[in-house]
């Protein structure tokens, strides 16, 4: 573009360099993948500053997503389960990931199917809010799984 905001169009590299020198500015390549490559006649310091501002703006818009952990046991009461489920739903609606940890203490390790069924119950009750990011897996005496919130349409 020239000083009036008009597009200059396609021109040979030599002419573009000459025009940049006349204006005491730099010829900066914006996109080299296009045919022909797209360049701007602009002050290089100004161009770098604009790129820096775009990156900073992107960082401002990016939300920092935390991972919250909810611990459960395979033989917990219904009231305890409902309380934990409310917390999971609260975390997911805020946009945080939720790690579910099913702890087995003592002889409970022999009853793994109860822990699996409880985690599956959590998955079905939160299916509208979240997707399973990490499937349930046994790590030592714990089953760990992770839910990731589904982006809601505004």
Domains observed in the chain: 13-61 (3.10.20.80), 67-149 (3.30.110.10)
What sign does the dihedral 29-30-34-38 (CA atoms) show? negative
Task: Work out whether strand 130-139 and strand 38-42 pair parallel, antiparallel, or are unpaired.
Answer: unpaired
pTM over 0.75? The answer is no
Does the pLDDT at position 81 exceed 90?
yes
Mean pLDDT over each residue of the chain, to the nearest integer: 85
Q: Using 50, 70 and 90 to split pLDDT, how confident is the model at 23? A: confident
53: which 2 tokens? 């501002």
114: which 2 tokens? 């109860």
């Amino acid at each position: 573009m020239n000083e009036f905001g008009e597009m200059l169009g396609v021109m040979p590299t030599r002419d573009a360099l000459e025009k940049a020198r006349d204006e005491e500015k730099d010829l900066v390549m914006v996109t080299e993948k296009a045919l022909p490559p797209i360049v701007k006649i602009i002050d290089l310091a100004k161009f770098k500053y604009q790129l820096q501002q775009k990156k900073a703006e992107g960082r401002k818009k990016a939300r920092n997503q935390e991972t919250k952990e909810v611990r459960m046991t395979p033989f917990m009461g219904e009231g305890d389960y409902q309380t934990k489920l409310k917390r999971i739903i609260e975390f997911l609606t805020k946009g945080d990931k939720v790690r579910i940890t099913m702890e087995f203490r003592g002889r409970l390790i022999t009853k793994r199917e109860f822990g699996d069924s409880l985690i599956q119950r959590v998955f079905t009750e939160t299916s509208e809010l979240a997707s399973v990011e990490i499937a349930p897996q046994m790590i030592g005496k714990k089953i760990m799984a992770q839910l990731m919130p589904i982006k809601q349409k505004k």
